[in-house]
Chains A and B, each alone.
Chain A
Amino acid sequence: MPTETLDLQRAVEQFLFREARLMDTNDYKGWLELWADEGMYWIPCNADDADPHHNVAIVYENRGQIEDRVWRLSGLHAHAQRPKSRLTRVVSNVEVEAGADGTVVAHSAFVLCEIRKNEAHFWAGRNMHVLERDGDDFRIVLKKVMLTNNDTVMPNMTFIV
Chain B
Amino acid sequence: MLTQQVEALCRPDDWAAQFIRGDRVNSEIYTSPAIFEREMQKIFYATWLYLAHESEIPKPGDFVSRTIGRQPVIIVRGDDGVCRAVMNRCRHRGALICEVDRGNQSHFRCFYHGWTYDNTGTLVHIPKDDAYPDDFDRESLGLTPLPQLDSYRGFIFGTVNPNAVPLRDHLGLAAAKFDYMIDASPTGELLLDAGTHKTSFRGNWKFVGMDGYHPPVVHQSAFEIFRRNAAKENPNVDSAVAQAPRKTMNDSPLAVSRDLLHGHAMLDVIPHRISERDFHLEATRHMPGGKEYIEAMYAAYGPERGGDLIAIGGDPHLGVWPNLQMINQHVRMVVPVAVDRTDVYLFPARLGGVTDEFNDIRLRKHEEFYGPAGFGQPDDTEIFERNTDGLQAVVNPWIDISRGRNREYVDRDGSIVGKIPDEVPQRAQMREWARQMSAS
Do these two chains really belong together in a complex?
yes
**What residues of chain A have their CB less than 8 Å away from a CB belonging to chain B?**
43, 45-47, 50, 52-61, 64-65, 68-69, 71-72, 75, 77-80, 82, 117, 151-158, 161
**If the complex has contacts A153-B199, A156-B382, are A59 and B373 also in contact, measured as CB distance less than 8 A?**
yes
Distance (whole angstroms) from the CB of A140 to the closest CB of chain B: 17
B375 at the interface (CB under 8 A from A): yes
Between-chain CB contacts (< 8 Å), 15 pairs = A45-B367, A53-B356, A55-B363, A56-B194, A56-B197, A56-B366, A57-B363, A59-B373, A68-B229, A72-B375, A75-B224, A153-B343, A154-B372, A155-B381, A156-B378
Asked if A59 and B367 sit within 8 Å, CB to CB, the answer is: yes
Distance (whole angstroms) from the CB of B204 to the closest CB of chain A: 16
- Render B365-380 as a binary contact track against A, CB cut-off 8 A, 1 for contact: 0111001111100110
Asked if B372 and A156 sit within 8 Å, CB to CB, the answer is: yes
Asked if A75 and B221 sit within 8 Å, CB to CB, the answer is: yes
Nearest B-chain residue to A69, judged by Cβ: B375
Distance (whole angstroms) from the CB of A65 to the closest CB of chain B: 7
Asked if B371 and A78 sit within 8 Å, CB to CB, the answer is: no
Contact of A45 among B224, B350, B371 (CB under 8 A): B371
Cα A113 to Cα B359 with chains together (Å):
36
Cα A59 to Cα B366 with chains together (Å):
10
> Chain A binding site: helix, strand, loop or mixed by DSSP?
loop
B313 at the interface (CB under 8 A from A): no
Asked if A52 and B373 sit within 8 Å, CB to CB, the answer is: no
A59 contacts which chain B residues (CB < 8 A)?
367, 371, 373
Distance (whole angstroms) from the CB of B237 to the closest CB of chain A: 18
B15 at the interface (CB under 8 A from A): no
B131 at the interface (CB under 8 A from A): no
Cα A35 to Cα B218 with chains together (Å):
30
User: Which B residues, 189 to 224, have Cβ-Cβ distances below 8 Å to chain A?
Assistant: 193-202, 218, 220-222, 224
Cα A80 to Cα B202 with chains together (Å):
13
Asked if B221 and A78 sit within 8 Å, CB to CB, the answer is: yes
Cα A41 to Cα B16 with chains together (Å):
50
New A-B pairs, 14, CB < 8 Å, besides A43-B373, A72-B224, A155-B381: A45-B195, A45-B196, A46-B196, A47-B195, A53-B360, A54-B194, A56-B371, A58-B197, A72-B222, A80-B379, A151-B101, A153-B198, A153-B343, A156-B201
Asked if A52 and B363 sit within 8 Å, CB to CB, the answer is: yes
- Render B141-182 as a binary contact track against A, CB cut-off 8 A, 1 for contact: 000000000000000000000000000000000000000000
Cα A65 to Cα B374 with chains together (Å):
11
Asked if B375 and A55 sit within 8 Å, CB to CB, the answer is: no
Asked if A58 and B367 sit within 8 Å, CB to CB, the answer is: yes
A157 contacts which chain B residues (CB < 8 A)?
372-373, 378
B247 at the interface (CB under 8 A from A): no
**If the complex has contacts A65-B368, A156-B372, A157-B372, are A71 and B196 also in contact, measured as CB distance less than 8 A?**
no
Asked if A80 and B343 sit within 8 Å, CB to CB, the answer is: no
Asked if A68 and B101 sit within 8 Å, CB to CB, the answer is: no
Cα A151 to Cα B193 with chains together (Å):
15
A82 contacts which chain B residues (CB < 8 A)?
382
Asked if A55 and B195 sit within 8 Å, CB to CB, the answer is: yes
Contact of B373 among A58, A68, A151 (CB under 8 A): A58
Asked if B379 and A79 sit within 8 Å, CB to CB, the answer is: yes
B350 contacts which chain A residues (CB < 8 A)?
54
Asked if B375 and A45 sit within 8 Å, CB to CB, the answer is: no
